[in-house]
Structure 1
Amino acid sequence: MQLIDIGANLTHDSFDHDRDAVLARAREAGVTQLVVTGASREHSPKALQLAQAHPGQLFATAGVHPHHASEYTAECDAEMRALLGHAEVVAVGECGLDYFRDFSPRPAQRRAFEMQLQTAADIGKPLFLHQRDAHEDFIAMMKNFDGKLGPAVVHCFTGSREELFAYLDQDWHIGITGWLCDERRGLHLRELVRHIPANRLMIETDAPYLLPRTVKPQPSHRRNEPMYLAHIVEELARDRAQDVADVAAQTTTTARAFFRLPE
């Protein structure tokens, strides 16, 4: 079984003491390739460095998460465009809108998102998107770029049925995480994932966040890591009434095509 984790925050400092061991455990669990999320001005260059240190196994995104939107200056935009010139950087983002926490003012979020959408339109690489409690503005801003953008994935989808079908109607891809395994917040996803076409579905851990709550035994440190992608695909297969091997193969094929990853 070969799996691709399309979103892992491997530059997070919680991995600084054992990153090589984390990657080894991921390989043992069948995770053959990972996309390292670049989500800020500080961490996007680090994501590229990790990808360059592990050719063929790790790849990177370059972008600024809405939590950090206030840092998205013209200089930051130039830095992101330079990073996206590297072959190892396979997508623009993580970018989007987050009205749940509002760590950056909403006007700053919209400005940073618009600038990164323009970058994606200019460069032609896929989009790695974040949306939380901002569906209407998110859809409206994406539609301003109709016909100008390449493929897009709404990463770590946790939204409603209405949101899911709106994204599928736009031919966007959907990233599913261990949120699926959260009996407090993710039960609605158990039914919704059945409606995602196989060629639009990808899987991710969002490590070190969102440790699947159904992993037994739970690690004492509570840190998620890419090896748990195997657990997520098992849960996803059960909810889709499919064989685990089929879901693994389909999500891997879809991710390779989306990010243009080598075999």
Structure 2
Amino acid sequence: MTALNLVDIGANLTHESFRADFDEVLARARAHGVTQILVTGASAAGSRAAHALAAEHPGFLHATAGVHPHHAHEYDAATDALLRELSAQPQVKAVGETGLDYFRNYSPHAAQLDAFERQLQIAVDCGKPLFLHQRDAHEDFIACLDRVRDRICRAVVHCFTGERAELIDYLDRGCHIGITGWICDERRGQHLRELVRLIPADRLMIETDAPYLLPRDLVPKPSHRRNEPMYLAHVCAAVAAARGERVDTVAQLSSDNARAFFALDD
């Protein structure tokens, strides 16, 4: 597996479930061919923590800085200032995770839209890519994105689980697409096995979204049910099978895409 040289573009390594064995998690990731990980910032505190982890593990860990729509109701002037400060740091490679989530609605729609638009402006101002989230809010999401699309450098819709029309909308706007272990779920992810073939080779990236979205078809399944970056190789194999390509081919192209997208050193 070490020959795969994989990049996990989204892992929530600041999650409390990783505190007890964090070093072992990183060691297992390396042993399974993961050579770089983007640590997702999804709140003010989480973004600060993601940056700290990236600073402690230069070259291997990198960070994003953003506020997930679930936390949009917490977004204020201090949050905006913090994200701007973090986005200026070399360890922070993208603005986000940001976007809209009308499925859970943990924050009111108005608060989500405000936080999303303010983070879009941060991306415009700092010139770094966007790490995006959308669930059950496609129309509003596209409307917001369209207002800045010609002023942002790059955007990835991470953890894509949507339908064909949504995928085409993203691809038409030049977005990259992040695929997770959702593709391994025979109940909910079957459609992704068809749609992943539509993603151009130069815009496909893969991720675990750890500790969430543990691939359902892992054998044996870990007893703790926690996902971690070591399983990115499994996601890569599932994507390769769905696209009818070699695993090493998908590993190479997804990693090359990630390094170019996030401006990572190889």
The answer to whether the superposition gives a TM-score over 0.5 is yes
Following TM superposition, by how much is the alpha carbon of 1:75 offset from its aligned partner in structure 2, in angstroms?
1.0
Which residues of 2 match residues 134-149 of structure 1 at below 5 A? 134-149=137-152
> Among 247, 251, 256, which residue is 2:254 paired with?
251
Residue 49 of structure 1 is matched in structure 2 by 52
> Among 237, 262, 265, which residue is 1:262 paired with?
265
CA distance in 1, matches of 2:103, 2:213: 17
1:68 matched to 2:35? The reply is no
CA distance in 1, matches of 2:211, 2:21: 13
> Among 147, 156, 160, which residue is 1:157 paired with?
160
CA distance in 2, matches of 1:26, 1:145: 36
RMSD across aligned C-alpha pairs, in angstroms? 0.4
1:132 matched to 2:135? The reply is yes
TM-score (normalizing by structure 2) = 0.98
Where has structure 1 moved over 4 Å in runs of 4 or more?
none
CA distance in 2, matches of 1:171, 1:210: 26
Residue 20 of structure 1 is matched in structure 2 by 23
Q: Percent identity?
A: 64
How many residues get paired? 263
Q: Secondary structure at the match of 2:149?
A: coil
Question: What amino acid is aligned across from residue 161 of structure 2 in structure 1?
Answer: T
1:181 matched to 2:184? The reply is yes
Farther-moved stretch of structure 1 (146-155 vs 24-33)? 146-155
Question: What amino acid is aligned across from residue 161 of structure 1 in structure 2?
Answer: R
Aligned residues of 2:210 and 2:228 also touching (Cα < 8 A): yes
Q: Cα deviation per residue 1:108-134 (whole Å; 9 max; x = unaligned)? A: 000000000000000000000000000
CA distance in 2, matches of 1:230, 1:8: 14
TM-score (normalizing by structure 1) = 0.99
Aligned residues of 2:149 and 2:173 also touching (Cα < 8 A): no
Q: Cα deviation per residue 1:229-257 (whole Å; 9 max; x = unaligned)? A: 00000011000000000000000000000
CA distance in 1, matches of 2:254, 2:172: 19
Q: Secondary structure at the match of 1:64?
A: coil
> Among 42, 61, 64, which residue is 1:58 paired with?
61
Residue 224 of structure 1 is matched in structure 2 by 227
Following TM superposition, by how much is the alpha carbon of 1:142 offset from its aligned partner in structure 2, in angstroms?
0.5
Question: What amino acid is aligned across from residue 53 of structure 2 in structure 1?
Answer: L
Question: What amino acid is aligned across from residue 12 of structure 1 in structure 2?
Answer: H
Which residues of 2 match residues 103-142 of structure 1 at below 5 A? 103-142=106-145
Following TM superposition, by how much is the alpha carbon of 1:146 offset from its aligned partner in structure 2, in angstroms?
3.0
CA distance in 1, matches of 2:78, 2:226: 34
Question: What amino acid is aligned across from residue 184 of structure 1 in structure 2?
Answer: R
Farther-moved stretch of structure 1 (139-148 vs 7-16)? 139-148
CA distance in 2, matches of 1:234, 1:252: 14
Residue 7 of structure 1 is matched in structure 2 by 10
Aligned residues of 2:8 and 2:206 also touching (Cα < 8 A): yes
Q: Secondary structure at the match of 2:140?
A: helix
Q: Secondary structure at the match of 1:222?
A: coil
Structure 1 residue ranges without an equivalent (≥5): none
Question: What amino acid is aligned across from residue 106 of structure 2 in structure 1?
Answer: F
CA distance in 2, matches of 1:43, 1:244: 33
